[in-house]
Structure 1
């Protein structure tokens, strides 16, 4: 039975007893008197309160106690005593057991509704999917259901239509509204070769694209799944809450017994009055608010971040972000655009480019792609290559038309001669923030290829935001130190660690962790170990699948400014958890003395039913506090032309 249905049953059967309490001073009595109250309360106890008993008993059998333990003991004590009092012609308080159950369930109903609101914000994304797609089949365009689209299909999208699945444009261009997935409110221009995201809306052009990810593999499906996992995860601080609850519940039960004994034995109160004080202590102390403090804030925070295009995978990340001292960045594809281009060729241009292309055509490195694209543009024929060998972090070597040849960085030059004039050329190019690739035959350099990967337009602003937050910024790259420092100078990075082999990035992150917690931002396959080792791994959304899997935070929009926004929202969420815990503890600390009758002499006391109502509103206040995270100010995202406020 749902919590809502249990609440309505409890409320309906409690209302006659409420009317009895209100109208008794005016001479109206509930027909049937105590017998009617017994029947009404019994229904409530058997239907609405039963899950409390079951949960409490399950915890007891495992030698633990939980929040339901206090509710179960409080209601059962009131119910059983009232039956005894009824049999001995004494005052009963069936209404206390009934009202406590009703008010506890009221708090849980509010909690459930607000949980659903937080979850529905993400679930609604799944409903944005297109229902069908216009696909090329047997040379004709036909409409088919979305479930029948497969990888490799060519799909046509007209203006105003939703894009069915993820893919790459093969024909045409358009502007696309991606706000429902990335949070980016400005339409994005797309042309041949650009990626498109399923469920986003095509604005004004007609284009064709090749389906690359379908079903559960689409970005939208992965976002929904990641946020679900995050909302169901636990922050490490939750472990403290669980430990406190284990100690807190037995302590409260002892206090309730002491309260009863003091009132009955030492102060001479009746059994009924003493029991009321004891039950009030049990009910007011129920740490429901304590249990809600962490999960509700976690759900709201991760849900809001998803709307902003920032995926926070779990509660551990939220807690780790709070103490981050240093943010480390990969260079290529993270700080820079990730699309390097050949800018200069030193030596015989055709010979140098021909030899380099023959070697690099089998490499997946971004610099190799730049060389191959240049060769294609210049219609360079590719020579025959054999015995190809990649040298990690250095370059490649092979036999080209029978000659020993190599292409790579300066780490390959230990036994290679290079004339002085070419050395000066290298220095000049590197100071211009260009990466220099050495091209050689046997043991002689025959030419240089300069390749430049410009910083993203947003990188400088993103670094400035992080430095304003008091964080240390570091660039960690395999590129030449001179080039790395030139890029770092352009964007404002504090320090540079260059000439790092791919397998050594994680070791450098570990070294930096000796001075405090470290966040690492990267996008490539070689960044995965560093993303895993870092206290907070932040993966760019355009990066490789393994990098995204390794990161604790994923920036869907591939915008470096979202690093600051991710850290800001994570900190606000974690601080809200701490605020919730503080108020939950304060509530119990202040409520127990009042419920125990410590201030009875000045007319301040709580009956069990009022204690139950106060407890319900305590839970409601914590959930409301968490929901206010949706209104918390996070630095708004800027576009190139205007400020976009959330």
Structure 2
């Protein structure tokens, strides 16, 4: 194990033509000193190498790949626009060669089919097929020779040997027909087969290149989002348009209407609506004002603003996303290991099968055995293309991970895709994950006639040192008020004088110390708010309590719906928090979570996950903070909310860029769709070869007289690769939301295995949210019952698994919770 720090880099690989090539490049790199891991993505024509720079270098890695018969591009890659142009030019060149090959090969085919008895028909076919095989198809022979020099073989070897054999055999028959005629054999030529094989394989490569380009479209879109220049304000206040690499941290950057934001930063002047769909997948522009963050690649709408650059170059969120997507698309799913082992020995085995087929035909085929054997030899080599096997997994992974990136879901590697399908338990952190992560004033209630004192409440909290004072000052309104004799009273609140009167803001103890009376209605409201696990701040003058404010960390919008969606997928959703029992209970009830644990320290969260895993569960942990990092590392699948800490994002296998918890279900469904597509691709790729090779060898000839034509074999081989990539591209148009109808592989929990029945009941004598939680917990304590209770109207929606519970049993459960009454009256 290397002692130095390793680096992970993605290098483009040149001259690969099949899965066997990918396996050979990977093996050559893996055997190099200092290389910790190497993963080749054939579909992306790239390799992700993790190596120790003290023991290996890009140059040494390139030399190792060259010795294997391929090449590695170690120089910095072109910019996004240049890469797009390079890909387009490569595609155009291949398209020209393919069109010429199809045109000439079709002419050869026409002569063979309709004018084979005409004078000079054979020389004409020879003249037309020669440029197809040795000019338009020269790349096959060049690469095959390169492989032969290194003692290896790949798909190009199969094509070169088969087409070369057919061409040379036909040329021999054309020049020396008497050799066969003297032996009673008709000297057939197969120039049309050789040329059509080259044309069909070039067509397959063209379609494959086009499809592979589509699989990488998401990454190219991301790379092209960042503008090449930015408008910067200099020390004299003048605006200058400068190249992006000259923007420094702390620079003031101007964004004009319709412009793309160049780097990450915080707005200092102005405001606008910004289209952040490239980050969140949400089409609605977000309002941005001074103090709010903006991100590179997002699009400003009609307004203009100035922001301070904070992250530039490779530090921006966009650059981070591009790196993650590149690494993830180059990673391998565990199922790919089987494909790699097969690909490594595939070509030598196929050559052996082709030779064996030829020999068996020569020995047992009678007078036509040699000809049939030669055709079988050529056809086996053509039909057994390992490209479909090589494309099956990486194309699906590239499309799936690219689609996730477009929707604001960053998947770190392919292994997490397979893991996500097996998850049966989802654990949510509270602060910053299930909730917004910052305290806000949720309620502000005044005693009758006291609303005019709000400016004094604001004046006190403006000078307060309490951490919650910021939430109060953000909510309270009022003009400037001068407060004298101000005091911070630790553990109780603040005190000050204005207009000859004393004003207090703090807890109930502060009011009791000063003998301030509290009205019955205000007291009842304060108790209701406290029962909801909210922090209550009192405000009073020297004669009476004037009002109360409730402060809480609010649950995120849509959190309850997201939890309900996860539960509908058969997942057990749990809440773990370091907060107190009352707060945990209130948040869990509001989110619709039945199982929760409070006052859990960071190591306790990891321990809880270990216990679930020991019981046979597959656990996903969703968190956002440093305190979640141990639990994220312990979980089978770790999901970080992108607004959280960098450590959580580094540890997590999946990052949700936005705070939208609904993206968790989308990520799980996307993984299910991607893995299902991989399995479909592998099934068809294996079936194609299992059926195609024996048929090409001639197993059907003794019973039906059918011998596969080499031209048809070439067409079938091309279409096998195209079909696999096309199936992967279907992921781009599938929806991973609620209506996708995709389920994960997990088995539903007990309550989902049985017939469900839902019924509504009226609940009387509930006075507050505290009562509502007691009723809900009491009903949920019953076996086979899932209940959701609302206060307005006072209704319990009860879902029974199996038989319905008698109302008497439901009432007995409520008797233990308080003086509540349940009736069957429909609400």
Q: TM-score range by the shorter chain?
A: 0.7 to 0.9
1-structure distance, mates of 2:738, 2:228: 33
2:278 aligns with one of 165, 180, 186:
180
- Tell me how far apart the structure 2 counterparts of residues 316 and 98 of structure 1 sit (CA, whole Å): 42
Partner residue, 1:215:
313
Query: In the alignment, which residue of structure 1 is the partner of 2:415?
Result: 316
* Alignment pair present for 1:300 and 2:399: yes
Alignment of 1:626-641 (within 5 A): 626-635=728-737
Structure 1: 5+ residue stretches without partners: 359-368, 386-424, 438-448, 639-646
**Structure 1 residue 121 corresponds to structure 2 residue 238:** no
Cα distance in 2 for partners of 1:495, 1:54 equals 65
Give the aligned CA root-mean-square deviation in angstroms: 3.9
Closer/same/farther in 2, CA of residues 200 and 579 from structure 1, 3 Å limit = same
Please tell me whether residue 195 in structure 1 is matched to residue 195 in structure 2. no
- Tell me the distance in 1 between the aligned counterparts of 2:227 and 2:201: 42
- Deviation track 1:343-386 (CA, whole Å, cap 9, x = no partner) reads 89xxxx99x9999958xxxxxxxxxx546766999999999x9x
**Quick one: higher RCO (CA 8 Å, sep 6+), 1 or 2?**
1
3-state SS of paired residue (2:385): coil
User: Which of 587, 593, 598 is residue 487 of structure 1 equivalent to?
Assistant: 587
2:677 maps to which residue? 576
CA distance change for structure 1 residues 37 and 131 in 2, over 3 Å: closer, same or farther?
Answer: closer
Segment drifting more, 623-632 vs 304-313: 304-313
Contact 1:55–1:69 (CA under 8 A) maintained in structure 2:
no
Q: In 2, are the aligned partners of 1:23 and 1:29 still within 8 Å (CA)?
A: no
TM-score under structure 2 normalisation?
0.62
Post-superposition Cα deviations, 1:415-436, rounded to whole Å, max 9, x if no partner, equal: xxxxxxxxxx999877523479
Deviation larger for 146-155 or 428-437:
428-437
Q: Distance in 1 between matches of 2:698 and 2:392?
A: 28
Q: Give the C-alpha shift of residue 624 in structure 1.
A: 1.0
- State the TM-score, normalizing by the size of structure 1: 0.78
Who is 1:18 aligned against? Answer: 109
Query: Equivalent residue for 1:235?
Result: 333
Q: What displacement does 1:468 show?
A: 0.9
Aligned to 1:617: 719
* C-alpha contact 1:114 1:623 (8 A) present in aligned 2: yes
Determine helix, strand or coil for the equivalent of 1:272: helix
* Greater mean alpha carbon deviation, residues 254-263 or residues 603-612: 254-263
Say whether 1:564 aligns with 2:652.
Answer: no
- Alpha carbons of structure 1 residues 534 and 71: separation in structure 2 relative to 1, 3 Å: farther
- Report deviation, 1:254: 4.2
Q: Is the CA contact (8 Å cut-off) linking 1:17 and 1:95 kept in structure 2?
A: yes
Please state how far the C-alpha of 1:149 moved relative to its aligned partner. 2.4
Instruction: Give the Cα–Cα distance (whole angstroms) in 2 for the partners of residues 58 and 314 of structure 1.
Output: 36
**SS of the residue 1:234 aligns to:** coil
The aligned runs of 1:8-157 (5 Å cut-off) are 10-11=101-102, 14-25=105-116, 27=118, 29-30=120-121, 32=123, 36=127, 39-40=130-131, 43-44=134-135, 47-54=138-145, 56-57=147-148, 60-61=151-152, 66-82=154-170, 85=173, 88-89=176-177, 90-147=187-244, 148-157=246-255
2:642 is matched with: 541
* Larger-Rg structure: 2
For 2:137 and 2:203, how far apart are their aligned partners in 1? 18
- The question of whether the paired residues in 1 share the 8 Å contact of 2:384 and 2:693 is answered with yes
CA distance in 2, matches of 1:55, 1:104: 19
Once the two structures are TM-superposed, the CA of residue 104 in structure 1 deviates from its matched residue by 2.2
- Residues 342 and 371 in structure 1, CA contact (< 8 A), matched pair in contact too: no
Kindly provide the CA deviation profile for residues 486-510 of structure 1, in whole angstroms up to 9, marking residues without a partner as x.
2111112242233222244333333
Count of residues in Structure 1 that have an aligned counterpart in Structure 2: 571
Q: Distance in 2 between matches of 1:33 and 1:276?
A: 22
Q: CA deviation at 1:96?
A: 3.1
Separation in 2, partners of 1:573, 1:619: 18
CA–CA distance in structure 2, aligned partners of residues 70 and 381 of structure 1: 89
How far off is 1:580 after superposition? 0.8
Partners of 2:553 and 2:319 lie apart in 1 by 32
Quote how far apart the aligned CAs of 1:223 are: 2.1
Structure 1 residues 619, 377: closer, same or farther in 2, change over 3 A? closer
Instruction: Give CA deviations for 1:234-276 in whole Å, capped at 9, x if unaligned.
Output: 2221111112234544544444344334433223133122221
> Shift of residue 8 of structure 1?
5.6
Correspondent of 1:453 among 532, 553, 559: 553
Q: Distance in 1 between matches of 2:595 and 2:220?
A: 42
Query: What displacement does 1:229 show?
Result: 2.2
Q: How does 1:259-274 map to 2 (within 5 A)?
A: 259-268=357-366, 269-274=368-373
Superposition deviation, residue 512 in structure 1? 2.4
Q: Residue in 2 aligned with 1:463?
A: 563
8 Å CA contact 2:324, 2:410 repeated in 1? yes
The whole-number CA distance in structure 1 between the counterparts of 2:299 and 2:162 is 56
